[in-house]
Amino acid sequence: MSSPYQILARKRRGLSLGADDLAAIVSGASDGTWSEAELAAFLMAAAIRGLDQEETHRLTLAMMQSGDCWDLASDIPGVVDKHSTGGVGDKVSLVLAPLMAAARIPIIMLTGRGLGHTAGTADKLEVIPGLDLELSRARCLEAVEQTGMAIGVATADIAPADRRLYALRDRTATVDSLPLIVASILSKNLATGAEAVAFDVKTGDGAFMSQPEEAVELAHRLVETCAALDRRASALVTDMSQPLGDWSGHSMEVSEALQCLAGDGPRDVMEVVFELAMDLAQLADSPARRRDFEDLVNSGLARETFARWAEMQGADAQWLAAPTLEPAPHEVVCEASCGGYLSHVATRELGLLLAEASHPEGALGTLDEQVALRSETRLGDPVEEAQLLARLYLRRPDPRFEERFRACFTIADEAVAPALIRDRIAAA
């Protein structure tokens, strides 16, 4: 077996690493036999020299096998998953999971906590009193068997090597390396044993991959790596150059998701939900039309499924019957300074602002889940002088946030409205 020094020297020279080398790096990360210096050198060499498709899939497999693999498909044939690379106002999982379950396509999602300017699905769902997202394999199985769906957080036993490597990537400026992102995402996602995954790769100012070409490349890499690991996958590349839906912020996104399930969701959220639903149905070999999914929403079945699932995972039934979700009390408005068209929304900045305002004691302190943003206009909309563009809801007045908020919207003389679905990568 090669030493860390030999493996690092090969990658530094741009040579491909073999399965044994990648397995050695991953076990070194899990059991501590590779020092931080050695792992950091690997990450930097991989970020600069790249990892080819074979190396990416071997690294993913080794990272996935560094922890528990649930193999849920052995008990729930046809179980699917959906993964989003994250954005501002992205509450699609909350609507899509019960919709798939209502369509009798079993779905499992392990979701994350907030990262940078994006709020985590897990943090949003914890707004629901009593809901427990710490799932063991057995609890997950029980939830899917009884309600058709399960949503949980990735526990410490899932892909532990990723935990160490991810923390180091954050310190070594290697977070945005495509093969390292692919291995990180898939090592956790595929550990559940879902047979197929639909990816929603976001692009635009509020996405991690702001450049469309990079997002498309990531989408291809995710789909190809899944295929190399015998999982079916497809991807949508969707626009994140403005917040998705009317509301952003923990409580109000849950409220909007419930509104979507009641058949009264914003057009953009429902468009992404229905497109991903059709992709998942295709991947699960039970193709369905958009109309079928619309019927599941309009009949109330998707909303009922959500309530049954949430109750199964501990949510308070009385709260679910009459959810009470309000934004924080101090409203700040942003009005157009002149007439024209809404031409740019600083979405990443809005996400950062929401993250900071909802964590008044810092990232590890308590979460103010009621901090929220309401978008009143969309990119390309004509606006008149003094027309309302957006509202921000804070716990108390804070001039620093108010100024930053108002600087996030730009009016121009020309209308620019980006397409919501930017690209599609069909199953490999």
Q: Which residues bind ligand URA (CB under 6 A)?
A: 181, 184-185
Q: Give me Rg for the CA atoms of the chain.
A: 22
Burial of 384 (0-12, 13-18, 19+ CB in 10 A): exposed
Name the active-site residue from 90, 123, 162, 268.
162
Burial string for 236-250 (b: 16+ CB within 10 Å, else e) reads: bbbbbbbbbbbbbbb
CB of 181 to ligand URA, least distance (A): 4
CB atoms within 10 A of CB 385: 11
For residue 234, indicate whether it is catalytic: no
**Pick 184 or 358: Cβ nearer ligand URA:** 184
CB of 411 to ligand URA, least distance (A): 33
Pick from 322, 293, 292: nearest CA to 307: 322
**Pick 94 or 185: Cβ nearer ligand URA:** 185
**Pick 2 or 53: Cβ nearer ligand URA:** 53
What whole-number distance in Å separates Cα of residue 211 and Cα of residue 361? 32
CB of 169 to ligand URA, least distance (A): 7
For residue 413, indicate whether it is catalytic: no
Residue with tokens 């992404």: 272
For residue 396, indicate whether it is catalytic: no
**Pick 2 or 155: Cβ nearer ligand URA:** 155
Name the active-site residue from 91, 188, 232, 303.
188
**Pick 185 or 223: Cβ nearer ligand URA:** 185
What whole-number distance in Å separates Cα of residue 221 and Cα of residue 51? 11
Which single residue brings its beta carbon nearest to ligand URA? 184
For residue 162, indicate whether it is catalytic: yes
CB of 148 to ligand URA, least distance (A): 25
CB of 290 to ligand URA, least distance (A): 29
Pick from 352, 428, 357: nearest CA to 396: 357
For residue 406, indicate whether it is catalytic: no
CB of 7 to ligand URA, least distance (A): 21
Q: Which amino acid is at 94?
A: L
Strands 80-84 and 372-375: unpaired
Pick from 279, 288, 347: nearest CA to 119: 347
**Pick 229 or 333: Cβ nearer ligand URA:** 229
**Pick 208 or 293: Cβ nearer ligand URA:** 208
Q: What separation in angstroms does the CA of 163 have from each of 45, 166, 342?
A: 19, 5, 40
Helix (H, G, I), strand (E, B) or coil at 197: strand
Phi, psi of 287 (to 5 degrees): -55, 140
CB 359 within 8 A of CB 367: yes
Name the active-site residue from 83, 91, 250, 404.
83
CB of 300 to ligand URA, least distance (A): 34
Burial string for 150-178 (b: 16+ CB within 10 Å, else e) reads: bbbbbeeebbbbbbbbeebbeebebbebb
Name the active-site residue from 184, 241, 251, 375.
184
DSSP 261: H
**Pick 150 or 165: Cβ nearer ligand URA:** 165
DSSP 369: T
Name the active-site residue from 11, 169, 220, 231.
169
CB 355 within 8 A of CB 114: yes
Q: At what angle do helices 160-171 and 36-49 cross, to 10 degrees?
A: 70
CA angle 52, 56, 59 (to 5 degrees): 140
CB of 234 to ligand URA, least distance (A): 19
What whole-number distance in Å separates Cα of residue 66 and Cα of residue 365? 30
Q: Which residues are catalytic?
A: 83, 162, 169, 184, 188
